[in-house]
Amino acid sequence: MELFELVVVAGALVLAGLVHGTLGIGFPLVSTPLLATVLDVRHAVLITLLPTIAVNLVSIVHGGGWRARLAGYWPLAPWVLGAAVCGALLLTVFDPRPFKLVLAAMIIVYLNVQRIRFLRLTWVNTSPHLGMAVFGVLAGLSAGSVNVMVPILIIYALQRKLAKEQMVPVFNMCFACGKISQVAVFGTAGLLSGKLLLATAAGAALAVLALVIGIRLRARISVATYEAILRRLLLIMAPVLIGEFFWEL
């Protein structure tokens, strides 16, 4: 990559790690769109693969008691795993440029999630296993193809009225499942190499360092401040991604 691209990659990983550490979620939501402004979505997903896995694993075990907080939501894992395989296969087979529109759509959903929460989704609570199946599949497809599942999981968590302490490990469990599926598919397709993994290992270390700083800042800095920054950043990224798609036609 050119020097400018390397700077963007490093900056995106640090910013995403800080946001994830402070909010407990958001690493792929921030890093993937930022990288997709200078790279195609496929390369953005590949570069963030190892860093995202590292960030998710650290986030799951941080603070202890993660097994208890995940109790009852383990069935989400196989649905996300299977659907993420399908989403990753789509990314390896088709032109990655249209996925920028999908990524922009995921951002728009996230920005409007407070409106979507009022939709009638009572069946998610009355049929919890069906709810986990439907939202697990949707989240997995989104994660496998465009590296973003947060909007879908937030809608599910709001409907289930999950506390933040439980929401964070559940989300990161799903993120990790999506990454495992991508590793399997990309490895089979020959898109992963030792050189790529070695190169992104440094990015993973950088992301985890930023994550730890974000976690330490969580008690000192208002989460609302970071949420406002994240929303403003996404407001910029969504139209940029849409514009780039049409520019590349």
Per residue in 160-169, pLDDT (tens digit) is 888 777 888 8
The single residue listed with the structure tokens 């993660």 is 66
Task: Give me the domain span that covers residue 34.
Answer: 3-247
- What is the reported pLDDT for 217? 83
Q: What is the DSSP letter of 65?
A: -
CA distance 181 to 52: 13
Other CB atoms within 10 Å distance of the CB of residue 82: 17
- Tens of pLDDT along 37-67? 888 888 888 999 999 999 999 988 886 777 8
The rounded Cα 177 to chain-centroid distance in angstroms is 11
Task: Indicate the range of 86-90, 97-101, 217-221, 243-247 predicted with least confidence.
Answer: 217-221
Q: Which of 10, 15, 41, 36 is nearest to 26 (CA)?
A: 15
CA distance 242 to 57: 32
Which residues neighbour 214 within 8 Å (Cβ) at sequence distance 6 or greater? 17, 18, 19, 20, 21, 22
CA distance 103 to 114: 19
Question: Is pLDDT of 242 > 80?
Answer: yes
Q: What is the DSSP letter of 120?
A: -
If pLDDT is split at 50, 70 and 90, which confidence band does 137 have? very high
Q: Residue 118: exposed, middle, or buried by beta-carbon count in 10 A (0-12, 13-18, 19+)?
A: exposed
As for how many domains the chain has, the answer is 1
Helix or strand (DSSP H, E) at 193: none
Q: For 157, how many CA atoms within 13 A lie in the half-sphere containing its CB?
A: 24
Helix or strand (DSSP H, E) at 218: none
Other CB atoms within 10 Å distance of the CB of residue 191: 18
Higher-confidence position of 174 and 222: 174
CA distance 112 to 131: 21
Q: For 192, how many CA atoms within 13 A lie in the half-sphere containing its CB?
A: 20
Question: Is pLDDT of 141 > 70?
Answer: yes
Q: Spell out the alpha helix ranges (H) of the chain.
A: 3-23, 27-36, 41-61, 66-70, 76-93, 99-111, 113-116, 123-126, 128-146, 150-160, 164-188, 194-217, 223-247
If pLDDT is split at 50, 70 and 90, which confidence band does 119 have? low
